[in-house]
């Protein structure tokens, strides 16, 4: 699934090529792309037609276009968002209208420039069909203040490390107050958004921490340094176009990311650690894989003893974990 840097690359492309243009026609192909729009694909196409894209926004891995619609019956300007859920393979492609239509193009938005000229399409292409489009109302962003808006369905998502609304000290306090594995905390979008499996492994490798370390056992400076590493590695990936392990991931111009060449942990099972040379390991974690160095990132120590409780005559054995 695309992570924060990949989604930000797409957002920047949309900001350059789509913002300021109007939607003059919409072709929704099939129902699955609009399954999150409860009123259905015909309503989605009708409500999008005639709107103007006024901004391209992102929070974490979530992407949306702010829309203005001055047509009667469509609500007030600047209070609606088109959310693009990219899923595993969703792409937002800006192409000439005459370009051949992709086999898995599920939505096509014909665009008009401010000067009235036409000729560009915004196409939502999704081979695996896990993604989709839907409209949502914009509400006040409680994280960023009264002047900021966010789609109502995303209002619970915390700011990511690249946002101005991000408060790292608050995130550290909330992580420290929990008794949970540190990798789980990094992936918890209600704590900090945008950090996915790839960049969590990279941040943990840089911080020399195993993902099963408990947050309440780590000091605040250690947690803060870990979040610094997450921000740094995502910023580096963003500078190189994102991380692409899948030929299906492309930005709006069809260019793939290539940060995978710079990864130190993710996907490197059996390869030498870039720091100490020990072969990297892969472990199961939350129905996915975690990659780490057994020397640089030792597993947390777990003390187990088996005891018989003197309070019971049945001699029931219990395991005590320290």
The answer to which of 49-63, 85-99, 154-168 has the lowest mean pLDDT is 85-99
**pTM of the shown model:** 0.81
**What is the per-residue pLDDT for 18?**
93
The answer to which of 83-92, 171-180, 232-241, 299-308 has the lowest mean pLDDT is 299-308
* pLDDT interval class at 78 (50, 70, 90): low
Active site includes 213? no
Active site includes 299? no
Comparison of pLDDT for 11 and 207, the residue scoring more: 207
- CA-CA distance, 67 to 75, in Å (whole number)? 11
Q: What is the pLDDT of residues 244-302, one digit of tens each?
A: 444 444 555 555 444 555 789 999 999 999 999 999 999 999 888 999 999 999 999 87
> Six-digit token pair at 175?
């992580």
By percentage, how much of the chain surpasses pLDDT 90?
63
Average model confidence (pLDDT) across the chain: 85
Catalytic choice (2, 5, 41, 151): 2
Catalytic choice (128, 173, 220, 288): 288
The answer to which of 6-10, 172-176, 217-221 has the lowest mean pLDDT is 6-10
- Residues 6+ positions from 191 with CB-CB distance below 8 Å: 158, 171, 174, 175, 185
Catalytic choice (21, 61, 183, 231): 61
Active site includes 58? no
Active site includes 103? no
Strongest mean pLDDT among 62-76, 120-134, 251-265, 275-289: 275-289
């Amino acid at each position: 699934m695309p992570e924060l840097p990949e989604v930000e690359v797409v957002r920047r492309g949309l900001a350059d090529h789509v913002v300021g243009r109007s939607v003059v026609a919409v072709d929704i192909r099939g129902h699955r792309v609009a399954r999150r729009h409860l009123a259905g694909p015909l309503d989605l196409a009708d409500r999008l037609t005639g709107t103007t894209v006024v901004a391209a926004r992102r929070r974490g891995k979530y992407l949306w276009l702010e829309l203005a619609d001055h047509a009667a019956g469509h609500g007030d300007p600047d209070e609606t968002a088109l959310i693009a859920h990219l899923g595993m393979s969703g792409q937002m492609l800006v192409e000439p209208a005459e370009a051949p239509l992709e086999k898995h193009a599920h939505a096509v938005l014909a665009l008009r420039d401010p000067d009235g000229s036409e000729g560009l399409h915004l196409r939502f292409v999704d081979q695996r069909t896990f993604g989709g489009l839907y409209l949502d109302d914009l509400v006040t962003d409680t994280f960023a203040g009264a002047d900021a808006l966010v789609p109502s369905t995303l209002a619970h998502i915390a700011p990511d490390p690249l946002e101005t609304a991000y408060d790292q000290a608050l995130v550290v306090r909330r992580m420290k107050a929990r008794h949970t594995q540190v990798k789980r905390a990094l992936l918890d979008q209600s704590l900090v958004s945008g950090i996915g499996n790839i960049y969590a492994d990279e941040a943990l490798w840089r911080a020399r921490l195993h993902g099963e370390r408990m947050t309440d056992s780590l000091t605040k400076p250690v947690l803060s340094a870990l979040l610094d590493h997450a921000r740094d590695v995502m910023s580096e990936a963003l500078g190189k176009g994102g991380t692409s392990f899948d030929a299906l991931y492309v930005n709006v111009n069809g260019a793939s990311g290539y940060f995978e060449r710079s990864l130190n942990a993710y996907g490197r099972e059996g390869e030498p650690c870039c720091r100490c040379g020990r072969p990297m390991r892969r472990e199961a974690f939350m129905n996915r894989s975690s990659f780490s160095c057994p020397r640089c990132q030792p597993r947390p120590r777990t003390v187990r003893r088996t005891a018989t409780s003197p309070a019971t005559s049945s001699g029931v054995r219990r395991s005590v974990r320290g």
